[in-house]
Amino acid sequence: MKMFKRIIAVTAALAMLVCCTLGMTASATQLVVPVSGSDIDPTIQPPVIEAGSAIVMNANTGAVIFEHNAYQQRPMASTTKIMTALLAFEAGDIGREITINAEMLSYDERGSTKLGLVQGDKITMNDLIVAMMLLSGNDCAQSIAVALGGSFDGFASMMNERASELGMLNTHFITPSGLDDPQHYSTAYDMAVLGAYAMKNEDFATLVGKTRETIRYGNPVSPKVLANHNYLLEGQRQGVKGCNGIKTGHTDDAGYCLVSHVERDGVSLVCVTLGTNYYWDYHSGLYDYAFAQYRTVTATPDMPSDEMLVVGGAKQTVNMQCLCDGEFRVLGNQVNNLTSQLNLNRFEYAPISENQVLGSLTYYYGNMPVADFPIIAKENIECVTNDWVSAYIDAVKYNMQNQN
């Protein structure tokens, strides 16, 4: 139907495309923005990272605010479980019941963290994910892997395929839990990419932000309360303002590993440390440093009109508004080099639904978008015709009359 309307548009009223009022869209998303040294304020000093790798990345734009050995391949311990959980959530049907079998428990390492599953236990996929992410149960990760991949090798293939799709070019997965293996490695950069992506999954983000949760498992099934081992969460004993995820990890070979996520004042950052000598203080200091780099910019939606022309509707125009909350944040040295662009179609076809996106207001740093605010319809407009030639002619006449 849309194609039919456009064909008619060309043949019936091409002139209208030149004459009609422009329109725009808005959504509070921020897109990929490369950061150069000139974007960082050199008077703000980052914490000293004594060992391992570290990175702070804008979770929406991919901008790297700080990095230390961020592209070195290293073991990543139980932060691996971010990928395992993401695949489990993406597979769906997390309410299904799993019966634990011998293959799921076939790998064990003395001293590793486990829920304590035994053969014959019954547990839902959801509760396996909860215990894997909050308690860091390796037996839960292994059970998920066999349930989804058919085997550890099958699930490793799934992990590596997903890593490739996400652009994790220096990562290779062997185990679903993160237990040490010479061929199981990643980089701080790649794990930041994974963490930022995983937090866009609503189920994943809700889970990793919980300080405790009750699961049910066993034979017979009984409840158990689990506490989150990520003490960086806001409200926890090492809590950082705005921290709402993600995952800790530690093995003798990997050292202390942590992927975390913080939201403050409309800015979402992900921080990764691999192979360091402790968790919490590095992340706290890196977030303080990174957020200090940001400045607030006032968005000014300057639309030429608050109406857009409608073709074939019960009304000739639709009222619209920009969903701009007034402010957004960018790195301090980018503030004076921002431009904006209004993106609106010249007209819209009926029917139109209230809150339908009609266009956007986009802010740029150079040629890269940094903030995008949607413009939406404020009302419903019914379609009242099947005669699209006449509808276009009427729209042209209306537009010309109102431009005089």
Respond yes or no: is residue 136 known to be catalytic: yes
Residues 290-323, buried b or exposed e (16+ Cβ, 10 A)? bbebbeebebebebeeebbbbbbbeebbbebebb
Catalytic member of 81, 143, 186, 284: 81
Mean pLDDT is lowest, of 114-123, 220-229, 339-348, 354-363, for: 339-348
Spatial contact of 381 and 318, defined as CB atoms under 8 Å apart: yes
As a whole-number percent, the residues of the chain with pLDDT over 90 amount to: 64
1 pLDDT higher than 70: no
Locus of tokens 């979770």: 59
**Alpha-carbon span 236 to 230, nearest angstrom:** 8
Q: What pLDDT, in 10s, does the model give residues 4-32? A: 444 444 344 434 433 333 333 333 333 33
What's the whole-model pTM score?
0.79
From the list 53, 136, 268, 284, the catalytic residue is 136
Q: What percent of the chain has pLDDT over 70?
A: 90
Contacts for 71 with CB less than 8 Å, ≥ 6 apart: 170, 187, 188, 189
Which pLDDT score, from 0 to 100, does residue 52 have? 95
Average pLDDT over residues 147-165: 97
What is the per-residue pLDDT across 229-285, written as a single tens digit (0 to 9) for each? 999 999 998 999 999 999 999 999 999 999 999 999 889 999 999 999 888 989 999
Candidates 78, 260, 268, 360; catalytic one = 78
- The angle, 0 to 180 degrees and rounded to 10, between the axes of the packed helices 152-165 and 138-149 is 90
Does position 38 have pLDDT exceeding 70, yes or no? no
> Is 78 considered catalytic here?
yes
